[in-house]
């Protein structure tokens, strides 16, 4: 089933009201965190919120979107590397994210692996897809999309040694918001490639950050609910919380990205980051409705 697109919306000109987002993210910055945010109206292309949106911060699993784009492009091109059945390897050194490691299925089709990545950020599926298409191909595809500050740097790993990339992915919120805008407008490679990626992302079950303000069912929000439609990808790691997405409401549609890099030395500090990101979500919801 094809997911509806958050980009299929004629936006009316509205005055942005993101003072609360500035205050919430500003408090984090005052407390020592690195903060970046970008929000764009999908109808007009107008920047609604820009907070250090060109700096490069770690984005954890958000870089997996770049992998999904490369896989989808190969399926569209009927490239053999985009097809086939892949065997599950012995589990190890890939982190805890995902569900395939807990399933009995010994092998899955390429498209099912992409579904696992989109729905649960599955690390086993991520590494198998990345092994299939190659990190260099993902980097080349990223550059072809005009992204110079955003990259998937490595395979998913439980621990990162001195010879490994220090982060799974990095990005600027300016580029991530633009990327999700391109997906919503079906401009990434071509319409079919964009639609397929959005279909995978529409299954994402992590609505714990910005999207926690939208009132959607984390396990079933593929279609519009109370005139609200979302595709998003989150990234979480020690000291990292990041989210990028596209959101459509009754009156407008936006693409957005928020990243926070912080000293994860207490639960209170981590919860303050989550609360600030939800504050951005509340104002996004107000804007699109």
pLDDT one-digit tens code per residue, 16-52: 679 999 999 999 999 999 999 999 999 999 999 999 9
34-41 and 57-58: which strand pairing? unpaired
* pLDDT at residue 94, rounded to an integer: 59
Cα–Cα dist 71/93, whole Å: 23
* Domains in the chain, number: 1
Residue 185 lies in a domain: yes
**How many beta carbons lie within 10 A of that of residue 117, not counting itself?**
31
Residues of the chain with pLDDT under 50: 1-2, 10-11
Distance CA 26, CA 113 (A): 39
Is residue 10 in a domain?
Answer: no
User: What is the model's pTM?
Assistant: 0.91
Helix/strand/coil for 36? strand
Residue 222: how many other CB atoms lie within 10 Å: 19
Cα 114 from Cα 128, distance rounded (Å): 10
Report pLDDT for 2: 46
Apex CA 228: angle with CA 222 and CA 232, to 5°? 55
The four Cα atoms 203, 39, 148, 118 give a dihedral, to 10 degrees, of 0
The residues, any chain, with a CB within 8 Å of residue 136's CB and separated by 6 or more, are none
Q: Is residue 3 part of a domain?
A: no
Task: Output b/e per residue, 158-183; b: 16+ Cβ within 10 A.
Answer: eeeeeeeeebbbbbbbbbbbbbbbbb
The runs of H, that is alpha helices, within 171-264 are: 173-184, 191-201
Is 35 domain-assigned?
yes
CATH code of residue 61: 3.40.710.10
What pLDDT sits at residue 4?
56
In a domain, residue 2? The reply is no
- Given a contact cutoff of 8 angstroms between Cβ atoms, the answer to whether 169 and 62 are in contact is yes
Quick count: other Cβ atoms within 10 Å of Cβ 101?
Answer: 16
Domain contains 189: yes
Q: Which domain does 189 fall in, by range?
A: 19-288
Note whether 143 and 118 are within 8 A (CB).
Answer: no
Tokens in use for 183? 């997906």
DSSP H or E run through 247: strand 240-248
Distance CA 49, CA 65 (A): 23
The answer to whether position 5 is within a domain reads no
pLDDT at res. 138: 97
């Amino acid at each position: 089933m094809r997911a509806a697109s958050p980009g299929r919306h004629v936006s009316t000109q509205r005055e942005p009201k993101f003072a609360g987002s500035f205050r919430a993210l500003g408090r984090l910055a005052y407390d020592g965190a690195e903060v970046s945010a970008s929000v764009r109206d999908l109808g007009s292309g107008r920047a609604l919120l820009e907070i250090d949106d060109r700096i490069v911060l770690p984005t954890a699993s958000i870089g997996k979107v770049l992998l999904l784009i490369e896989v989808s492009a190969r399926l569209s091109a009927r490239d053999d590397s985009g097809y086939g059945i892949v065997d599950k390897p012995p589990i190890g050194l890939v982190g805890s994210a995902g569900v395939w490691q807990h399933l009995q299925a010994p092998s899955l089709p390429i498209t099912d692996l992409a579904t696992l990545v989109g729905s649960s950020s599955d690390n086993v599926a991520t590494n198998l897809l990345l092994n299939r298409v190659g990190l260099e191909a993902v980097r080349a595809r990223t550059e072809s999309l005009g992204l110079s500050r955003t990259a998937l740097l490595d395979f998913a790993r439980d621990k990162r040694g001195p010879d490994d990339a220090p982060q799974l992915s990095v990005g600027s919120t300016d580029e991530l918001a633009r990327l999700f805008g391109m997906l919503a407008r079906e401009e990434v490679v071509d319409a079919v490639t964009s639609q397929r990626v959005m279909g995978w992302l529409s299954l994402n079950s992590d609505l714990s950050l910005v999207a926690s303000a939208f009132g959607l069912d984390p396990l079933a929000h593929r279609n519009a609910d109370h005139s609200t439609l979302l595709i998003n990808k989150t990234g979480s790691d020690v000291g990292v919380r990041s989210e990028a997405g596209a959101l459509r409401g009754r009156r407008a549609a936006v693409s957005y990205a928020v990243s926070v890099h912080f000293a994860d030395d207490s639960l209170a500090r981590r919860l303050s980051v989550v609360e600030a990101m939800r504050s951005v979500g509340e104002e996004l919801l107000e804007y699109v409705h």
